[in-house]
Homo-oligomer: A and B are copies of this chain.
Amino acid sequence: MDPLAAQVETTFTRTLEDLRRLVQIPSVAAQRRGIPEAAHAVRALLEAEGGRVTLLTDGGANPVVVGEFEGRAPRTLLFYNHYDVQPAEPLEEWTVPPFDVTRRDGLILGRGVSDNKGDFMTRIAALRALRAVHGGLPCRVKFVVEGEEEISSVHFGAVTRAHTDLLAADACIWEYGERDAAERMHVVCGMKGICYLELRAKTAAVDLHSSFGAVIEGAATRLTWALATFKDGGGRVLIPGHYDRVRRPTPEEDAAVAQIPPDVIEDVRERVGAGDPIGGVRGADAVRQLLFAPTCTICGLWGGYMLEGSKTVLPSTARAKIDFRLVPDQDPHEVARNVRRHLDAQGFRDIDVTVLGGEYPWRTNLADPFIALVRDVVKEATGRATVVYPTSAGTGPMHDLGPVLNIPLVSTGGGYWGSRAHAPDENVRERDFRETIVLMARLLERFAGAGH
């Protein structure tokens, strides 16, 4: 066995115990739980590997933990990760304790073992192995680990823009990775943006007996009417101005998408038993729609009586949580303003809109040599084929680092097709976890030698 892989094995139990301690902190940003504790734990892990650590809280941010490590080569690779996690609800659907690490059937289960505490730990473990084998790191390394990724990185942009010198780097490895059902490794070069809104319909000061529904309209009905104006059955967002800034994909992006095996989407649809895709799209068209289409999704909806049996009540309040996924060059602030204007124009002035989060979309230039370097190292270190995604369908604050530091950002990491990010029984496979530690170490070695 190669010395580095052997070293990863030697410390694997310690790595998992470090991961367990992280997962046991229920750092759910949406619920304001466990944030200082998780930031402190991240700091301690960085310092234990010899990093110089700074905590940044500009604008009231949950602490952004920055770690700086010296290395032999002068180039700097930046790792972006986050220590906050999604809520664990619905708790009854977990088969293991959500805030602990369980090993079962070759899997590691728990909230955050994939998204994103697990990935952070693979990177710490890579530094640990490199230092043990070589007595130091092959290049300079920085970490930027935030605590608001799952709530749209509300303050992250203010932090990065205020600390460009501290964060300066030559390239960035983004937070996560995915092995698809054919065991290919995705190499993701961009992210969608997001505009996350809460809508509240309020029709009266108190609930009434529902017999008054003949003359007084209820909040739940008003809300469904408003929401039904947001999108058509083909997935097209009906809010005026929503597509004004959408720019066409570049020829390189189009070409990359044409290379993505369309079974990715069919696999998910079959696995969850979903019906026909939106707009009936199949094959490459479905991939294009997943990656290049703006979306409008109702993530939550509630009002009135939600328990067993019947209660004849006219609800005075009803609420919805909506996420709009954005593509270049849509602007989350403009989307929120357009929604407000649309509601007013449709006669829904009685519906309040609160912005819970906004992020800009970003894509790395597909011609950047850093992308080719990452693909090469993945192939060498894991033997896996790679699939280049010009963008993820998901969201992350790449826009707060890419244009700010003027660096390419590429995502690869430890997840797989069944990782259930954001859902009950989130997990990674043990063999992927090991593989990813070695991959991260190899990336640092190759990156040190490149760019001369």
Interface residues of A (CB under 8 A from B): 29-32, 86-87, 89, 93, 150-152, 192, 194, 196, 203-218, 220-221, 223-225, 227-228, 231, 233, 235, 265, 268-269, 272-275, 277-278, 281, 286, 289-291, 293, 295-316, 318-321, 323, 325, 347, 350, 356-357, 392-395, 420-424
Contact = CB atoms under 8 A, between A and B. Distances in A.
18 contacts: A31-B309, A87-B307, A150-B312, A151-B309, A151-B310, A192-B211, A204-B273, A208-B272, A209-B421, A214-B325, A215-B289, A223-B224, A223-B301, A224-B298, A225-B233, A299-B310, A301-B301, A302-B303
Contacts of A277: 215-216
A304 B298 contact: yes
What is the oligomeric copy number?
2
Given A215-B277, A300-B305, A311 B30 contact: yes
B215 A286 contact: yes
Given A233-B225, A268-B212, A220 B422 contact: no
B423 A274 contact: no
A30 to B, nearest CB: 3
Nearest to A265: B215
A330 to B, nearest CB: 14
- Point out which of A209, A211, A307, A394 has the most chain B C-beta atoms below 10 A from its C-beta: A211
A224 B301 contact: yes
Nearest to A303: B301
Given A228-B224, A274-B203, A306 B313 contact: no
B314 A208 contact: no
A429 to B, nearest CB: 18
A220 B300 contact: yes
Contacts of A225: 228, 233
A243 B206 CA distance: 31
Contacts of A299: 210, 218, 220, 304-305, 310-315
Given A228-B224, A298-B220, A30 B307 contact: yes
Given A206-B272, A302-B301, A305-B89, A212 B311 contact: no
Given A210-B299, A211-B325, A301-B301, A350 B275 contact: yes
